[in-house]
Structure formats: structure tokens, C-alpha cells
Chain A
Amino acid sequence: MSAILFLEQSLNGVQFGLMLFLLAAGLTLVFGIMDMINLAHGSLYMIGAYFMASFVQATGSFWLGLPLALGATALVGAALEISLLRRLYGRDHLSQVLATFAIILIANEAVRIAWGSQPIMLNPPAALTGPVTLPGGLQYASYRLLIIAVGAAVAVALYLLVTRTRVGMLVRAGASNREMAVAMGVDIKRLFTAVFALGAALCALAGAMLGPILAVQVGMGENILILAFVVIVIGGIGSIRGAFVGSLLVGIVDTSGRAFLPLLFSAFLPPQFASAAGPAVASVLIYVLMAGVLYFRPQGLFPARG
């Protein structure tokens, strides 16, 4: 196990974490401000990736396709919020779970009807297909570096938006005490449609950027949705900072667990046991992390309320 391998896995972890953050940021705000469980958040990620695949094919360019996919998904998100989700804010969590679970089913079938059941290939931009050599001699895929750069830039932009602007102040006010924000005259309805559209665009960005690495297929949103929920619960619901820290934690723990635990186990345990236990422990690691965090800090690392 060399320093290079370690560096490579750390970069992969950061890359995965930043993409998780794009999903978790929208989810934590929706959850935090409106106290709404939105299981359909993963569907927006899926829809974003499919839009991306179509627009890239239609325009012939990755960079033209990206803003189109983001815009289209934001529109879908806003339409969803105005037509359905808005009616669910006042309802209990169970109704929200049922309704958004239904939306997952509908979205999956709609995508299957529009694009077919086969996974779609999405290629990274031609200039970024090869590896670059990083200081220290590590050969690393340039497209993955782009993902890290985009993720970091969006994280900084979101941080500035939430902490330095008037809109961000309203969002924070809504997350920490919705009733008080409404009483102070905040138009929480419009604010929330905007937040939801922004969250949808972030989902699309994650779907579009991850599309060339993972397959674009029906059901791609379901597994990553659970990871995004783990992230926001670890970070503290409603907190952007918590979502950021949680995403990086989950990304790095998950990626390095998968890379290093099998190696670690085979050094100490008999091989037939190590080969079975390594991947098993690696895939439950983030859930252990979440259970641990909740046990010691039941409100997550950075509680937004109270």
C-alpha cells in the first residue's frame, strides 16, 4: 500500500463526497425549511442525468448540454413543487413518504417510456478523457479532477449564497424557525419554490457529472438517495455546513473503506474469511458511522435548530 494509492483513493473519496453534497444540499434545505421528507429527490438526479444524455446528443457538446440539462431539471423540480409537493407540507411525514414514493414509481416509469430500459452511455468531454500527472507522480483521470473542481466551486458558491446574501438569510431563517420567519413577513411559498428548483438543478448537476462515470439508468436515484439522507442526518438536518462535512465524511469513509478494508483484513485474517468480510464491512461502514454519530449527537453534527 503506497502513498500514491492512498492519495488516489482520497481524491476519489473527495470527488464522491462533493457529488453527494450536491444532492444533500437541496435535500437538507427542503427537509430543514419545510420539514418535508422528499424521497423523490433521487428521481430528480436520475432525470437530470437523462436530460444531460439527451441534450449532449442533440447539441453534440458536453458544455452546451450541461446548462440545458440543469435548466430543464430545475423546471421539472419547480413544476413538481407547485403542482404536488406544496400540498404535502402541512401533512404528516407518513403522507409525505407515501406521496413521494409514488412519485419515484411514476418517474421511473416515465423515464423508461421516454428513454427505454437500457442504460445510456454518456461520454466525458473529449478534452478530458485522458489522465493527468499530479505532483508526486500520481496519474489521475482529468475528468475526475473536473468533478472535484466543479463540486468545490458549487460548495463555495452555495456557502456564499447562504451566508452572505439576503436570499440566504431568508433560507437560514426558514430553516431555524419557519413560523417565526413567516410571522416576520417572509414569503416562504415563493422562497421555497426557488429553493426547490435550485435543489433540482444541483441534483441534475450531480447526475450530469457522474453520468460518464456511473451508468445512466432507471433506479440510479434510489441508492444515492439513501446516501444523501445518511449525509444530512450525520450533518444535522437543515444545515448546509453539516451537509458539506457529512458528504465529505461519507464519501471518504465509503471510498477508502472499500479500497483499504479488504487489504487490511487479508493482512490479519485467513483469506477465505477476509475476502467475504472485507466488502461486507466496507459497505456497512457509513451506516455504522451514522449510527455512531446519532448515538452521541442525536441532532447530527451541526444542528440547524435550537
Chain B
Amino acid sequence: MMRAAAVFLALALFPLLMQAMDGLFYVSLASRILIYAIAATSLNLVLGYGGMVSFGHAAFFGAGAFVVGILAAEGVRSAWIAWPAAILVAALAALVIGAMSLRTRGVYFIMITLAFAQMIYYIFVSLKAYGGDDGLSMPSRSSVGMDISLRNDLVWYYIVLALLAAVLYGLHRLVHSRFGRVIDAIRENEARAEAIGFPVYRYKLLCFVISGAVAGLAGALIANQSRYVSPSLLHWIQSGTLMIMVILGGVGTLWGGVIGAAVLLLLEHLIADYRIGWLAALAPNYQDHAGLAVGIVLLAIVMLAPEGLAGLIARKRHA
């Protein structure tokens, strides 16, 4: 608890520091990282705690973003309507997809969630009325009333930070509740949980729906962050990226999604933004190929740190 408070205190002070150092651009980058942290945390609930490897989480993330985008295009700008609508639609999508996918297991579950996500991707690509392939621009961020403007990047950062804190606290409470224990038991041994008498299927479905709803919230935020939604938010590469964040940060750990999102996005950003002298002397264009470095780092992590970065930190502490 103390550690969490320290992390959030640091995150809360960060924009003030940046303001003093004239680096407000980084506040926007930080908001983006926090939003992806929410999305990755939602995936970590099903993947890490529930043991359900969903390869289609971009569907809920993207659906949430599109709900906000489409409502804005139709003139509904209030966050109090658009964001709950995004959460609701994502939860409903998770209910339908989960209800069908959870009848399969293992690799087949991975593949069927992927298939459903691709379906939703193609549906949005062909929605020509709302941009189709090109995506949809939003004239402005959602409005919250009360004389608060989300256009201000500092205000926006604190709202995102507060939501991340709420999501993490909710996850913490959830996994330590009775519900969380049952989910734990199901992941450890499904047959045993079933034999004890728990309605396994319903527990897994509820877990899947909660996760989808949180991913929808992250989607609503990412639409506001960039004031633009595009079908690429739903592409399977996006599902893969969220999964990478979770695995990178630590599967089934409270902070896994946050760490993974921060490391991956910062890594991409650092390579593109900072020129390393000796590397540039060897390969002058190396910054155009950020993917190469990200790939090599990912590969190194999976080979050398099998339990993700959170696992590495935990191991250091035990040693």
C-alpha cells in the first residue's frame, strides 16, 4: 500500500515538474501511457488472474473508442453520456463474445477470441458513414461540464491518472475478494473448482465482461487523447501489443499492465527521440527502425526474464 501511494504521488507530481522544466509535451505522452496501462491492466485481469488468453482485447478497446467517436460525430459530446456508453457497449460485446468463446479452451480460445476481434475490426472498416478505413476525427474532447476543460493537457492527465488509480484499486479489491479467490481456483484447477460446486462458466464469463468493460473505458480515453479513432485500434496487432505489455510487465501481477505499457511505449519513444552518438556513427538511420530495437529488447526479455519485468523485480527483492 505504501509503495502504491509513493508511485501515485510521484505520478501526481510529474506534470508539475514538467511544467517547471518546460516539457509539457511529456505530460501528453504520459497520459497516453496511463491510458494504455488501463487497457493492459484490463487484459491482465482475464489473462493473468483468470488464465484466459484473450487474443482479441483490441475489440473492446476499439469498440469503446468508436462509441465515443461516433457519439461525438452525432453531436453527443458529454463525457457523462459517452463514456458510460462506451463501457456498456464494450461490456455487451464481451458478454456476447465471451459467452461463445468460453466454451472452447487452450489454443482454440486464443484463436476464437482473435476471430471475433477480426470480425469487429472488419465491421468498423466497412462503416463508411463513420470514416471506414480512414478513421474518424473528433472536433474536441468530451465535455464534463463544471467549467472543467479537458483540452487542457494537465487537467486531462489528472483525470486519466485518477481513473487508472480507480482501476488499480478496483482490481486489487476484486482479486482479493471471494470472487477473486474463485477465479484463482478456476485458473489453478478448473475441474476441481467445478467439482466443489462453483458455476465455473459464469464466473469466467463475469470476469471476461468486467475486463471488457474496463478495456472499453480505456478506449473511450484513447479516443479523447488523440481526438481521433481509427480501425487500427481494433487490428489484431493492437491485441498483440496489449498482450505484449501484460507479458512484459508481469502476468497476473497488480502492476504488470502499468509496467508493461510504460516500458514498451517509452522504449519506442526513446529510440525515436534520442540520438545515441556511437549507434548513429555505426548506422546513421537507426532511428527510422525503432521496431528492430523494440523487437530485440522483447526477445531478450522473453529469453532472459521468463516472468516479465515485475517478476524480475520481485526476484531481486527475494534474493
Q: Interface residues, chain A, CB within 8 Å of chain B?
A: 31, 37, 39, 84, 87, 91, 93-95, 97-99, 101-106, 108-110, 112-113, 222, 226, 229-230, 233, 237, 276-277, 279-280, 283-284, 287-288, 290-291, 294-295, 298-300
- Cα distance A228–B10 when bound, in Å? 46
For A284, list chain B residues within 8 Å (CB).
Answer: 118-119, 122-123
For A230, list chain B residues within 8 Å (CB).
Answer: 111, 115
For A91, list chain B residues within 8 Å (CB).
Answer: 306
- Cα distance A37–B240 when bound, in Å? 13
For B295, list chain A residues within 8 Å (CB).
Answer: 102-106, 109
**Does B82 touch A at the CB level, under 8 Å?**
no
0 or 1 for each of B289-307: is its CB under 8 Å from A? (1 = yes): 1011011101101110010
Asked if A294 and B104 make an inter-chain contact with CB atoms under 8 angstroms apart, the answer reads: yes
Interface residues of B in 27-57 (CB under 8 A from A): 47, 53, 55
A interface majority secondary structure: helix
- Cα distance A226–B240 when bound, in Å? 12
Chain B: which residue is nearest A105 at the CB level?
Answer: B295
For A295, list chain B residues within 8 Å (CB).
Answer: 100, 103
Q: Report A29 CB to chain B, min CB distance, Å.
A: 15
**Does B26 touch A at the CB level, under 8 Å?**
no
**Does B247 touch A at the CB level, under 8 Å?**
yes
Q: Find A98's partner among B127, B128, B298 (CB 8 Å cutoff).
A: B298
For A276, list chain B residues within 8 Å (CB).
Answer: 126-129
Asked if B306 and A291 make an inter-chain contact with CB atoms under 8 angstroms apart, the answer reads: no
23 A/B residue pairs, CB under 8 Å, sorted by A = A84-B299, A91-B306, A94-B47, A94-B251, A95-B302, A95-B306, A97-B243, A98-B243, A98-B298, A101-B240, A102-B299, A105-B294, A109-B292, A113-B289, A222-B237, A226-B118, A276-B128, A279-B126, A283-B126, A288-B119, A290-B111, A295-B103, A300-B108
**Does B154 touch A at the CB level, under 8 Å?**
no
- Known A101-B244, A283-B125; contact A112-B111, beta-carbon cutoff 8 A: no
Q: Find A93's partner among B110, B115, B244, B248 (CB 8 Å cutoff).
A: B110
For B119, list chain A residues within 8 Å (CB).
Answer: 284, 287-288
Q: Report A137 CB to chain B, min CB distance, Å.
A: 34
- Known A106-B296, A233-B108; contact A291-B115, beta-carbon cutoff 8 A: yes
Asked if A94 and B128 make an inter-chain contact with CB atoms under 8 angstroms apart, the answer reads: no
Asked if A94 and B123 make an inter-chain contact with CB atoms under 8 angstroms apart, the answer reads: no
Asked if A93 and B116 make an inter-chain contact with CB atoms under 8 angstroms apart, the answer reads: no
Q: Report A20 CB to chain B, min CB distance, Å.
A: 15
Interface residues of B in 274-319 (CB under 8 A from A): 289, 291-292, 294-296, 298-299, 301-303, 306
- Cα distance A166–B289 when bound, in Å? 45
Q: Find B247's partner among A98, A287, A291, A294 (CB 8 Å cutoff).
A: A98
**Does B95 touch A at the CB level, under 8 Å?**
no
**Does B258 touch A at the CB level, under 8 Å?**
no
**Does B218 touch A at the CB level, under 8 Å?**
no
**Does B107 touch A at the CB level, under 8 Å?**
yes
Interface residues of B in 100-145 (CB under 8 A from A): 100, 103-104, 107-108, 110-112, 114-116, 118-119, 122-123, 125-129
- Cα distance A94–B251 when bound, in Å? 9
Q: Report A62 CB to chain B, min CB distance, Å.
A: 31
- Cα distance A300–B106 when bound, in Å? 13
Q: Report A44 CB to chain B, min CB distance, Å.
A: 16
Q: Find B298's partner among A105, A113, A299 (CB 8 Å cutoff).
A: A105
Q: Report B311 CB to chain A, min CB distance, Å.
A: 12
0 or 1 for each of B76-117: is its CB under 8 Å from A? (1 = yes): 000000000000000000000000100110011011101110
Asked if B111 and A233 make an inter-chain contact with CB atoms under 8 angstroms apart, the answer reads: yes
- Cα distance A102–B111 when bound, in Å? 19
- Known A112-B289, A298-B103; contact A283-B122, beta-carbon cutoff 8 A: yes
- Cα distance A237–B47 when bound, in Å? 22
Chain A: which residue is nearest B97 at the CB level?
Answer: A291
Q: Find B291's partner among A98, A105, A277 (CB 8 Å cutoff).
A: A105
For A104, list chain B residues within 8 Å (CB).
Answer: 295
Chain A: which residue is nearest B301 at the CB level?
Answer: A98
Q: Report A84 CB to chain B, min CB distance, Å.
A: 7
